Structure 1
Amino acid sequence: MFDGNSGNYRQEVITNDGFWPDVDLMEFQKSRALPTNIDADFLADALLNTITEINGELTSVKNQHHAKGYHHAADVPGVQRNGRNALCAQYLKAVFARAKADLLGEYSSIVNRAPNSQQESPELRNRLLAESALVIRNMKGLKRATVRMI
């Protein structure tokens, strides 16, 4: 189960592209309640893949901030908590939600045990993907939903 209550977490920082914040594997494990018995290298690779995807989706956001003279997401003005601004917090939330959603599909093959229907359900995966998508839409200045003519 994704309870995150046992074992040791691994401290490892994934270096980002210079604009978006670096991503701490331990913060991901703790904030998304990932069990410590999943190989940390596997988790780090999942984060690396997700970071690459989300950075691509946020190219326009990065370019907008660069045009305003902000060369690091951490420099963009806004609400802050413990030295982290809203843009960086949103970025990490999007990355963590999507990475966990991607891991849910792999989890039952990684850990030898019966699946937990509540923690590994398609509904949870869909909620995590929706969480990530909504945060990304917000970062792009879009509303939660839009209607477009096809």
Structure 2
Amino acid sequence: MFSGTPIDFQDEPLENNGFWPDLNLKDFQSQRTIPADIDADTIAQALIVAVAEVNAELESVEYQQRAKGYESAAAVPGVKMSGLNALCAQYTKAVFARAKADLLGEFATIGQRETHPGQESTETRAGLLAEASVVIRRMKGLKRATVKMV
């Protein structure tokens, strides 16, 4: 229930690898409605791990863009809104979805079932991981799904 009290999110920057955009814990908490009562260090660890995993999956994308002369994802041309380009928006979406999927177990441990019903469910976690996977596939220039013969 909305209490009228502003939520105190952790304004903590995450320094990325120089190509992918830096992120902020506060943005993650507010955009993905992460409960403020989950320990900030736990949230930070989930975000760091998600960044490392997504960066590893996108090594080929980074390599291709650097080969084209773009030193950062923000420099890659494309659709923009409020200074954010499509590549950085996709990256942020993938990281935030994966990090939230990792945190879902925390929702249940702090008694959030009443205020966030279903947030800790297996289906919710699978949906978030699928969201991240689809975005990463699109960033790699792949379709949502492919069929391979074995």
Please give the TM-score of this superposition, normalised by the length of structure 1.
0.91
Letter in 2 for 1:14: L
Q: CA deviation at 1:118?
A: 1.7
- Aligned 1:43-122 pairs, distance under 5 A: 43-109=43-109, 111-112=110-111, 114=113, 117-122=117-122
Residues 33-86 of structure 1, C-alpha deviations (whole Å, 9 max, x = no match): 111111111101110011001100000000000000001000000000100100
Q: CA deviation at 1:117?
A: 4.6
Aligned counterpart, 1:130 = 130
> SS of 2:149's equivalent?
coil
Contact 2:73 2:88 in 1 (8 A): yes
- Aligned 1:25-44 pairs, distance under 5 A: 25-44=25-44
Gaps of 5+ in 1: none
Q: CA deviation at 1:7?
A: 3.0
Gaps of 5+ in 2: none
Contact 2:11 2:25 in 1 (8 A): yes
Distance 1:82 1:93 in 2: 16
Q: CA RMSD in A?
A: 1.7
Percent identity reads 55
- Aligned 1:3-18 pairs, distance under 5 A: 7-18=7-18
Residues 14-42 of structure 1, C-alpha deviations (whole Å, 9 max, x = no match): 00000000011100000001111111111
> SS of 2:133's equivalent?
helix
Q: CA deviation at 1:113?
A: 5.6
Contact 1:6 1:35 in 2 (8 A): no
Q: What is the total number of aligned residue pairs between the two structures?
A: 146
Letter in 2 for 1:39: D
Letter in 1 for 2:91: Y
